[in-house]
Amino acid sequence: MSIKYTNEHEWVRVEGDVGTIGITSYAQEQLGDVVFVEVPAVGRKVAKGDSVAVVESVKAASDIYAPVSGEVVEANAALADSPGDVNAEPTGKGWFFKIKFSNKAELDGLMDEAAYDAFVKSLG
């Protein structure tokens, strides 16, 4: 299992041919209190960079993008009732959706944790 990160502050936990996607602690801190989450439909085919989900906070609404191409195989429907899970556990219970990869090579373009940490520091 490995975790990769995007410039849009999303993480992908890679387990075989499936990736679980959510937003980073940094992202949820920037958003503030999350009040609404819209997750994608299971079975939806997505391309890398597509807007797949929406997260709304007291400050703003933000799109969640597909960090890789594939098919949505699971969505975290619990976030509809508990959007605060995104703030409480952004890398745990606050995940958004899972994608079955159509091209695992796309993961090579994403950052590892050290590179992502350096990227966040550069934003300071």
What the block records as the tokens of 68 is 């890789």
What is the per-residue DSSP string for 53-83? EEEEESS-EEEEE-SS-EEEEEE-GGGGT-T
Q: Where in the chain are the domains?
A: 2-103
Q: Which CATH class is domain 2-103?
A: mainly beta
Encoded amino acid at 116, one letter: Y
Q: Provide the whole-model pTM.
A: 0.95
Tally Cβ neighbours within 10 Å of residue 102: 15
Distance CA 7, CA 78 (A): 26
Candidates 90, 109, 97; CA nearest to 65 is 97
pLDDT in tens, the chain (124 residues): 899 999 999 999 999 999 999 999 999 999 999 999 999 999 999 999 999 999 999 999 999 999 999 999 999 999 999 999 999 999 999 999 999 999 999 999 999 999 999 999 999 8
